[in-house]
Amino acid sequence: MSITIMARLFKARLGTANRKILAIRLADFADDEGRGIWPTVGRLSAETELSERTVQRILKEFVDEGLLVEVSRANGRPGQATRYDFDLSVLGRIIDGMQENDPIDDGCQAGTGVTVSPVRVTNERETGDNGDIDGCHRDTRTIIEPLDHPSRKQDAREQGRENDPDASPKSALAELTTVLDVETARAVMEHRRTIRRPLTPHAARLLARKFAQMPDPRHAADVMIGNGWQGFDPSWVKDRPSSRASPSAPQRPETAHQKLKSAIRSAREIEHDLGSRRGNQPVDGRLRLGGLDGERGADGFDD
């Protein structure tokens, strides 16, 4: 392994990545003088991940350019490989020529008159090799990341709000509390969830309008819940007595005078009855109470 040659190859412009990686791999077999390179084409192909045809083409280019010197050719026997040496003078000229206005493009080194063979870049389409160890073309895949548009974020938020079970009840609660207190409104919503008919905001708005038609919207909501109704209409309770009607005022007790008058009237009615049965004879029903002066009414008492 020659670290010195490898370092010089890193600085050299060899035309393509395939050429450079193969040259560096060859330097790994050479000594510091650039001699003793004889790996097989198969080994170079496996270790550089280039196809054997590409390896053969680049080796021939290096020989033609003078970078490699073919010392001995393989005789075709198994395990036999062509032996190469680096021509370090050519490598030096390549590196030196790069430092003067990139002379590799025109083959001349400015101001010195030294001609440097330009690096020859082979069109891989012409030779049929493609640099791949399997000889296959790799598909180029272009991945375009989608832009995160604000409109998509807004759509996602709206969709999440629709899927949120607490989103609709909040709006429905606001509709009900326009006519009901919060506690009663929550009771109505819980009742609708119990019967598996949860309130939407629109349904809550319509229901609130029905409650508002009643003198006591809260009582209307209680009637709806108590009867297990899904909705409410004022006509459903029009003929029902209100459970919240105020009780009738208690009657005042009769005085002794009123009780006596009632007893006398009853006695007169009885006597009148008896007289009628005896032949319709009139019965004097005038009575006087002892100790009472002054004018009396028709029933014998002061009015």
DSSP conformation letters of 46-110: HHHT--HHHHHHHHHHHHHHTSEEEEE---S-TT---EEEE-HHHHHHHHHHHTTT-GGGTTB-T
Quick one: pLDDT at residue 53? 95
Residue with the larger pLDDT of the pair 97 and 35:
35
- In the chain, DSSP assigns E strands to 68-72, 83-86
Mean pLDDT over 32-54 rounds to 91
CA 272 and chain centroid, separation: 96
CB contact at 8 A, 35 and 85: yes
CB contact at 8 A, 7 and 25: no
Identify which of 216, 205, 139 has the alpha carbon closest to the alpha carbon of residue 172: 205
Quick one: pLDDT at residue 144? 61
The predicted-structure confidence for 120-157, as pLDDT tens digits, reads as follows 555 555 555 655 555 555 555 666 655 555 555 555 55
Domains of the chain, CATH where assigned: 3-127 (1.10.10.10), 165-237 (no CATH)
- The pTM (predicted TM-score) of the whole model is 0.36
70 bridge partner residues: 84
Mean pLDDT over 97-124 rounds to 51
Identify which of 107, 101, 96 has the alpha carbon closest to the alpha carbon of residue 12: 96
CB contact at 8 A, 161 and 167: yes
Cα separation, 96 vs 111, whole angstroms? 12
CA 184 and chain centroid, separation: 34
Q: Which residue has the tokens 């496996």?
A: 46
Percent of the chain clearing pLDDT 90 (strictly above): 39
CA angle 258, 259, 265 (to 5 degrees): 90
Extract the tokens encoding 25: 């791999």
**Mean pLDDT across the chain, nearest whole number?**
75
Quick one: pLDDT at residue 248? 45
Q: Which residue has the tokens 């970078």?
A: 67
Quick one: pLDDT at residue 25? 92
Extract the tokens encoding 65: 């350019």
The predicted-structure confidence for 204-259, as pLDDT tens digits, reads as follows 999 999 999 999 999 999 999 999 999 999 999 875 555 444 444 445 667 777 77
CA angle 93, 96, 102 (to 5 degrees): 110
